[in-house]
């Protein structure tokens, strides 16, 4: 109450004082209505229903007049006849509304003092109550086959629209938008909304990362113009080759590898990788390492995976316990799992790494880019090259001086680990709603058996059940490490899970651990399953494992991590890095090196500027979002710095003819070849112990950077076998060039 009447002992009391007591209380109540409850005209109750074909009933209720703050009431149900309003033939709408008015009621005889001296009184009948009453008003619309709903008069509050036909009331449409919300109901709705926000907010917050990923993917898609240009180029190529009908031998080498190079020949001094290039004259190979192992910008997992600094947040919660289940109540079994490993990326960056058009032959199906590009040392891979000939999953970028190769899947089956797991198996499948780094998971253990351990697997579940041949993460808890309550299982490496894919959390143990389950599968969109005789069965369709999934929330969308510097005596000319990595869509991992006091990124738009430095600082720049970042594994990386020569000599393997020939032609595709920059190339045939020079040559300019040079040989004695020797000079960091292809033809 904003104002009060003060009463004192032996003080005169006037009628105005008593009136002020209630009028000021009423004024405070009206302020409360208009300020805190509603500034509009709304109602509670006053429900309009059809009592009969010609009558409507308005239930008791209150009308809140927000602008004035007054509350008007109907204390008992009112029945209104609409018989006189029925249309003659078509239909019409009625607008049932209410407005407030005040009326004085409860007339009683009261004595009024008319003479103070004699105390004479005179009776008079007066109203002893003033009521605020809600009055119902009915407005009629026009009769029509398609009638329109009328609006109530200005200042009236619509309660309902009633549709009439010639036979009576047909429909009542309540004006629910004008009802005053109940505070308790609002609280219940708010609690439900907050519960939904708790579970949905991380997914919604991740949409930014998903949109960035979609934009990144769309930018790499080929347009119709690109496809048309490919067709034109193929037509030109077919016409340009002009292979005669009477040839006796035809051969070609795209120099993607050394399979047609005689590297044991005494004169051989070259490297064949996407073209013929000069040999390495100096190199040094090592691993990546943090400059500061305690770098606050980074975080290294137990298994050595490097991510930018992050905190853990819980994205998926299944916490309402509905019961418990014992793991070893199911069949004990032994099964073999195949654990995939994080895939790889290779970055080559150098002054003589000119772009070779032959790199497109990695996708031809003849060559295997995985073993040719992403192999590390002499390691043994599980998948034979023939199974990977189509180069599925391999993406590469080739521009002059910058080459990047990566495997698009974050986890591959080329390099795997095999383990044997024993025990009963309980699994929970989950449909991931967003991409992110899963750092740990928690299961609710209602009762722990101290005599047994627990193996936890995260597998793919493309067919709706765990696939133990596609295990992505494995954690093993020793006996005694399993405790009751929420048991947190840290993954050796954070695991990159992708939106829209199904995964399975697999628990394997021979002990009597009991875990809790919840009712419903609304959030996981998965199933709680058990394994028996090598097959999976649903434990209960309406159950989910009590589960929490914890993800990384990164401190910053950009992080810079300093690495150990690069070193090569005599100066660095070329950098070659091969490392385990995962770069989600919408994120990027950029390497930067420092020369001349400036940090220079290893990107397609920045040519190398090593400047002959022997010691070059190196750092990794992680770019992403607060939910998603790239990751690398420094400890197993292979980092090589090189310096190449300026000339090369390449000798092919023997070419054996079915019929001797004295007319042999060799065509070389030279890219970035410039005679004005002192570039030279020569070609000879090695026949037995003799070296044959060409009888003539001719050039055919293709474009600004490519030319075909044809060498024609006419041996005095028809040859049945020969080698091809190619010599090139003038390959410098400022003016690099290479031999991209070779075709030889014996007529």
Q: What is the pTM of this model?
A: 0.68
Residue 531's SS3 state is strand
Q: Give backbone dihedrals phi and psi of 141, rounded to 5 degrees, phi first.
A: -95, 180
Above 50 in pLDDT, residue 245?
Answer: no
Q: What is the mean pLDDT of residues 592-617?
A: 92
Going along 246-297, which residue ranges are E strands? Answer: 249-253, 271-272, 276-277, 280-286
Given this model, what pLDDT does residue 390 score?
Answer: 47
Residue 608's pLDDT is what?
92
Helix axes 183-205, 207-219, angle to 10 degrees: 40
Is the domain covering 243-279+646-746 a CATH 2.60.120 domain? Answer: yes
Task: Report, as an integer, the average pLDDT of 358-367.
Answer: 76
**Is pLDDT at 212 greater than 80 in this prediction?**
no
The CA angle 90-96-100, to the nearest 5 degrees, is: 160
- Identical fold, 38-180 and 243-279+646-746: no
Q: CB neighbours of 126 closer than 8 A, spacing ≥ 6?
A: 107, 108, 110
Which one, of 670, 665, 680, lies nearest residue 724 by Cα?
Answer: 665
What backbone torsions phi and psi does residue 213 show, to the nearest 5 degrees? -65, -40
Task: Give burial (CB, 10 Å; 0-12/13-18/19+) of 378.
Answer: exposed
* Residues 506-526 pLDDT 10s: 999 999 999 999 887 656 788
Percent of the chain predicted with pLDDT > 90: 50
> In terms of C-beta density within 10 A (0-12 exposed, 13-18 middle, 19 or more buried), how is residue 354 classed?
buried
For 448-545, list the strands marked E by DSSP. 454-460, 467-477, 485-497, 502-509, 514-519, 528-532, 535-540, 543-545
pLDDT recorded at residue 385: 52
Q: Exposed, middle or buried, 713 (CB in 10 Å: 0-12/13-18/19+)?
A: buried
Six-digit token pair at 380?
A: 């043994």
Q: In the chain, where are the structural domains located?
A: 38-180, 181-238, 243-279+646-746, 281-304+554-631
Q: Which CATH class is domain 38-180?
A: mainly beta
- pLDDT at 388 (0 to 100): 53
Residue 382 clears pLDDT 80, i.e. is over it: no
* Structural Rg of the chain based on CA atoms: 43
205: which residues sit within 8 A by CB, 6+ positions away? 626, 627
Bridge partners, 641 (sequence order) = 284, 575
For residue 155, is it left (φ>0), alpha (ψ between -120 and 50) or beta? left
> Percent helix, strand and coil across the chain, each rounded to 5?
15, 50, 35
The per-residue pLDDT for 234 is 64
Q: pLDDT tens across 15-66, in order?
A: 888 888 888 888 888 888 888 888 888 999 999 999 888 999 999 999 999 8
Q: Pick the most confident of 119-123, 532-536, 594-598, 725-729.
A: 725-729
Q: What is the pLDDT of residues 55-113, one digit of tens each?
A: 999 999 999 998 888 999 999 999 999 998 999 888 999 999 999 998 888 888 988 88
Residue 238's pLDDT is what?
Answer: 53
The mean pLDDT of 684-697, rounded to a whole number, is: 93
- pLDDT above 70: percentage of residues in the chain: 92
* pLDDT band with cut points at 50, 70 and 90 for residue 359: confident
Q: What is the mean pLDDT of the chain?
A: 88
């Amino acid at each position: 109450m904003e104002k009060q009447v003060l009463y004192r002992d032996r003080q005169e009391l006037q009628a105005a004082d008593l009136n002020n007591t209630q009028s000021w209380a009423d004024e405070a109540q009206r302020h409360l209505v208009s300020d805190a409850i509603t500034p509009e005209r709304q109602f509670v109750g006053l429900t309009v229903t059809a009592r009969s074909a010609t009558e409507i009933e308005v239930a008791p209720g209150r009308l809140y007049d927000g602008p004035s703050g007054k509350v008007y009431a109907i204390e008992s149900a009112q029945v209104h006849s609409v018989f006189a309003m029925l249309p003659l033939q078509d239909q019409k709408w009625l607008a049932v509304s209410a407005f407030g008015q005040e009326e004085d009621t409860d007339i009683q005889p009261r004595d009024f003092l008319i003479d103070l001296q004699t105390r004479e009184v005179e009776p008079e009948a007066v109203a002893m109550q003033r009521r605020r009453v809600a009055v119902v008003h009915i407005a009629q619309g026009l009769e029509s086959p398609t009638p329109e709903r009328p609006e109530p008069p200005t200042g009236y509050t619509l309660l309902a629209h009633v549709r009439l036909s010639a036979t009576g009331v047909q429909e009542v449409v309540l004006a629910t938008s004008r009802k005053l919300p109940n505070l308790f109901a609002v609280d219940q709705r708010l609690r439900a909304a907050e519960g939904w926000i708790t579970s949905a907010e991380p997914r919604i917050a991740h949409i930014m990362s998903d949109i960035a990923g979609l934009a990144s993917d769309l930018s790499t898609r080929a347009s119709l113009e690109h496809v048309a240009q490919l067709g034109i180029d193929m037509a030109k190529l077919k016409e340009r080759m002009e292979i005669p009908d009477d040839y006796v031998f035809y051969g070609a080498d795209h120099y993607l590898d050394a399979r047609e190079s005689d590297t044991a020949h005494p004169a051989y001094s070259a490297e064949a990788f996407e073209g013929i290039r000069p040999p390495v004259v100096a190199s040094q190979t090592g691993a990546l390492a943090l400059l500061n192992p305690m770098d606050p910008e980074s975080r290294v997992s137990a298994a050595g995976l490097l991510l930018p600094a992050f905190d853990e947040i819980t994205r998926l919660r299944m916490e309402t316990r509905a019961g418990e289940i014992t793991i070893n109540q199911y069949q004990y079994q032994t099964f073999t799992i195949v654990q995939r490993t994080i895939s790889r990326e290779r970055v080559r960056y150098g002054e003589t790494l000119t772009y070779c058009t032959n790199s497109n032959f990695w996708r031809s199906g003849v060559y295997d880019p995985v073993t040719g590009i992403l192999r590390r040392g002499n390691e043994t891979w599980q998948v034979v090259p023939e199974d990977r000939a189509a180069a599925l999953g391999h993406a590469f970028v080739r521009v002059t001086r910058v080459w990047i190769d990566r495997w698009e899947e974050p986890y591959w089956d080329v390099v795997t680990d095999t383990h044997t797991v024993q025990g009963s198996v309980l699994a929970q499948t989950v449909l991931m709603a967003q991409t992110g780094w899963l750092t740990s998971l928690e299961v609710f253990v209602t009762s722990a058996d101290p005599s047994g351990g627990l193996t936890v697997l995260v597998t793919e579940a493309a067919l709706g059940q765990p696939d133990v041949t596609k295990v992505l993460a494995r954690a093993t808890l020793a006996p005694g490490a399993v405790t009751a309550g929420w048991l947190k299982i840290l993954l050796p490496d954070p695991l990159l899970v992708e939106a829209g894919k199904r995964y399975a959390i697999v628990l394997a143990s021979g002990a009597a651990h009991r875990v809790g389950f919840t009712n419903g599968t609304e959030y996981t969109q998965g199933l709680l399953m058990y394994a028996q005789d090598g097959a999976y069965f649903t434990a209960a369709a309406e159950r989910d494992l009590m589960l929490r999934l914890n993800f990384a929330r990164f401190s910053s969308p950009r992080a810079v991590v300093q690495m150990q510097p690069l070193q090569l005596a005599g100066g660095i000319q070329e950098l070659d890095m091969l490392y385990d990595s995962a770069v989600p869509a919408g994120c990027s991992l950029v390497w930067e090196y420092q020369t001349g006091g400036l940090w220079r990124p290893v990107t397609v738009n920045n040519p190398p500027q090593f400047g002959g430095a022997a010691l070059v600082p190196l750092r990794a720049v992680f770019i992403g979002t607060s939910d998603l970042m790239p990751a690398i594994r420094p400890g197993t990386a292979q980092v090589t710095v090189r310096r190449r020569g300026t000339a090369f000599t390449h000798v092919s393997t023997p070419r054996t003819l079915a019929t001797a020939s004295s007319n042999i032609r060799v065509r070389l595709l030279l890219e970035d070849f410039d005679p004005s920059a002192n570039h030279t190339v020569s070609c000879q045939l090695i026949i037995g112990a003799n070296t044959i020079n060409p009888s003539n040559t001719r050039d055919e300019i293709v474009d600004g950077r490519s030319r075909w040079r044809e060498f024609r040989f006419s041996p005095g004695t028809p040859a049945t076998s020969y080698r091809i020797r190619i010599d090139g000079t003038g390959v410098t960091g400022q003016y690099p060039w290479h031999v991209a292809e070779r075709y030889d033809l014996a007529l």
